[in-house]
Amino acid sequence: MAAGTSTFLFDIAHLLAGGVLVLSLMLLVQDRLTAVINVFALQAVVLALSVGWQSLVQGAPHLLVTALITLLAKALIIPTALHRIVRKLDVHREIERVIGGGPTMLAGLGLVALSILVVHPVVETADPVAREDFAFALAVVLLGLLMMITRRNAVSQVVGFMSLENGLILAATGAKGMPLVVEVSVAFSVLIAFIVFGVFVFRIRERFDTVDVNVLERFRGEQREHL
What is the binding site for other proteins (CB under 8 A)? 118-119, 121-123, 125-126, 130, 134, 137-138, 141, 144-145, 148, 154, 157, 161, 164-165, 167-168, 171-172, 175-179, 181-182, 185-186, 188-189, 192-193, 196, 199-200, 203-204, 207-208, 213, 216-217, 219-222, 224-225
Of the two residues 22 and 149, which places its CB atom closer to other proteins in the complex?
A: 149
8 A C-beta contact, residue 66 and residue 169: yes
- In degrees and rounded to multiples of 5, residue 86 shows phi and psi of -60, -40
Query: In this structure, what are the phi and psi dihedrals at residue 21, rounded to the nearest 5 degrees?
Result: -65, -45
Query: Minimum Å distance from CB 103 to other proteins?
Result: 21
Residue 93 vs 207, nearer CB to other proteins: 207
The residues that bridge with 153 in the sheet, in sequence order, are 212
CA atoms within 13 A on the CB side of 127: 9
Residue 95 CA to residue 99 CA, distance in Å, equals 11
CB of 19 or CB of 144, closer to other proteins: 144
Please report how close the Cβ of residue 4 comes to other proteins at its closest, in angstroms: 26
CB of residue 36 vs other proteins: minimum separation in angstroms?
17
Provide the 10 A C-beta neighbour count for residue 161.
Answer: 16
What dihedral do alpha carbons 109, 163, 56, 173 form, nearest 10°? 90
Judged by CB, which is closer to other proteins: 1, or 2?
1
State CA 79 to chain mean position distance.
13
Closest approach of other proteins to the CB of residue 62, in Å? 11
CB of 203 to other proteins, least distance (A): 6
What type of residue is 185? S
Nearest to 36 by CA among 99, 66, 78, 89: 78
- Of residues 72, 70, 73, 79, the one with CA closest to residue 183: 70
Which lies closer to other proteins via its Cβ, residue 93 or residue 142?
142
Cβ distance to other proteins smaller for residue 4 or 125: 125
Minimum gap (Å) between residue 112 Cβ and other proteins:
16
